């Protein structure tokens, strides 16, 4: 069977590997669809290796069909269609440094437990929709950590798959004022389709001025103007994003950080102090998977359509990876036959 593995910086290969042997507590899943994640691109760029220098199997946003289940596995039988929880257990990390990755024809899930490692799909749910559960859960966790209320004026920095997911959830929460910020016009168009009430491209428009117009100008702090944004969500991770947020944030503004910063950044803590800014971080999805699965099963195709912009067969994996790097793409989906 084929498996995608990282062998070094920018050295991602589709390798041949023997089909895994299924132990009494294990399950073998035939992968149906798997999305390309921003973290996959980061792992590939830096050439992440497993302990001992072994290649790093890639892929964690996957859905599939059970083809084999060990005789000690409870509640999971061949034919079950499911989405994987790639962080399902400490010894069962998929595509994030574990021994298995989901960009593969088959995925071995060790010590597989129903609702822990595999969440069954509701009747009729497509493989693609199911493969969106993981990234949409990351986005929802960010929104949950932001304690958002409908009257909050929100800015989402970054309109990649996570930022777009946040826009989707904010709209579903009934938030009335959602501004999406990105340098890509194509991504901003997707954000508008998913529910952003306004978009700003800082390469074309002065962001501070735009936010002043969209969220109002609020009382100056230390003589400096501030804007009426209640919640800033940093889902972009640009080197100056946090700095610019702190500069224009009003008294008691909140920041949620989900972006991965590869290097430390300096923060103006004095200004944060005087504005009593609260900042929190959000990573992964400790509780969100079941809710996201239920919601994505219910919504109409129209609600989520703009989110997936490109689809590739597994044979075209290199193109899928390349496309996900382009700032014009939303979610890039890989299909297996």
Tokens representing 42 are 């980061």
Look at residue 57 and give its three-state secondary structure: strand
Smallest gap from residue 141 Cβ to Zn ion (A): 12
Smallest gap from residue 258 Cβ to Zn ion (A): 11
Task: Give the total of residues touching Zn ion (CB under 5 A).
Answer: 3
Residue 252: Cβ-neighbour burial (10 angstroms; 0-12, 13-18, 19+)? exposed
Smallest gap from residue 210 Cβ to Zn ion (A): 30
> In this complex, which beta carbon is closest to Zn ion, that of residue 135 or of residue 306?
135
Partnered with residue 13 across adjacent β-strands are 5
Residues in 46-75 at the binding interface with Zn ion, rule: CB under 5 A: 61
> In this complex, which beta carbon is closest to Zn ion, that of residue 37 or of residue 248?
37
> In this complex, which beta carbon is closest to Zn ion, that of residue 169 or of residue 230?
169
Which residue in the block uniquely carries the two structure tokens 């080197």?
Answer: 239
Closest CA to 59 of 143, 152, 134: 134
Can residue 33 be called a binding residue for Zn ion (CB under 5 A)?
Answer: no
> In this complex, which beta carbon is closest to Zn ion, that of residue 22 or of residue 132?
132
Q: Considering only 26-34, 36-44, 119-127, 139-147, which stretch makes contact with Zn ion by CB under 5 A?
A: 36-44
Of 37, 76, 162, 289, the one binding Zn ion by CB under 5 A: 37
Look at residue 205 and give its three-state secondary structure: coil
CA distance 213 to 223: 19
Please, how many CA atoms are within 13 Å of residue 86, restricted to the half-sphere of its CB?
30
Smallest gap from residue 165 Cβ to Zn ion (A): 10
Residues in 123-152 at the binding interface with Zn ion, rule: CB under 5 A: 135
Look at residue 71 and give its three-state secondary structure: coil
Contacting positions for Zn ion (CB under 5 A): 37, 61, 135
């Amino acid at each position: 069977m084929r498996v995608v593995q990282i062998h070094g910086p920018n050295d991602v290969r589709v390798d041949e590997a023997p089909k895994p042997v299924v132990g009494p507590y294990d399950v073998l899943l035939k992968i149906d669809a798997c999305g390309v994640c921003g973290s996959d691109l980061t792992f590939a760029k830096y050439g992440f290796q497993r302990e001992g220098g072994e290649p790093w199997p890639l892929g964690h946003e996957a859905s599939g069909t059970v083809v084999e289940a060990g005789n000690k596995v409870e509640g999971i039988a061949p034919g079950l269609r499911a989405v994987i929880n790639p962080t399902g257990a400490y010894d069962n990390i998929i595509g994030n440094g574990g021994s298995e990755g989901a960009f593969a024809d088959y995925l071995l899930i060790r010590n597989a437990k129903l609702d822990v490692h595999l969440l069954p799909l509701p009747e009729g749910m497509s493989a693609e929709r199911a493969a969106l559960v993981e990234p949409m859960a990351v986005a929802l966790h960010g929104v949950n950590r932001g304690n958002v209320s409908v009257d909050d004026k929100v800015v989402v920095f970054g309109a990649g798959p996570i930022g777009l997911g946040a826009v989707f959830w904010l709209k579903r929460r009934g938030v009335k004022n959602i501004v999406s910020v990105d340098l890509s016009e194509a991504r901003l168009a997707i954000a508008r389709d998913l529910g952003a009430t306004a978009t700003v491209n800082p390469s074309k428009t002065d962001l501070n001025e735009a936010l002043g117009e969209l969220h109002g100008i609020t009382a100056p702090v230390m003589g400096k103007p501030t804007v009426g944004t209640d919640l800033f969500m940093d889902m972009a991770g640009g080197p100056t994003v946090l700095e610019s947020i702190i500069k224009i944030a009003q008294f008691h503004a909140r920041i949620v950080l989900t972006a991965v910063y590869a290097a430390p950044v300096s923060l103006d803590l004095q200004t944060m102090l005087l504005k009593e800014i609260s900042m929190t971080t959000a990573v992964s999805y400790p509780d969100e998977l079941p809710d996201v699965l239920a919601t994505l099963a219910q919504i109409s195709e129209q609600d989520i359509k703009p989110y997936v912009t490109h689809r590739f067969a597994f044979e075209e994996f290199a193109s899928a990876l390349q496309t996900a790097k382009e700032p014009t793409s939303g979610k890039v989906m890989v299909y297996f036959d």
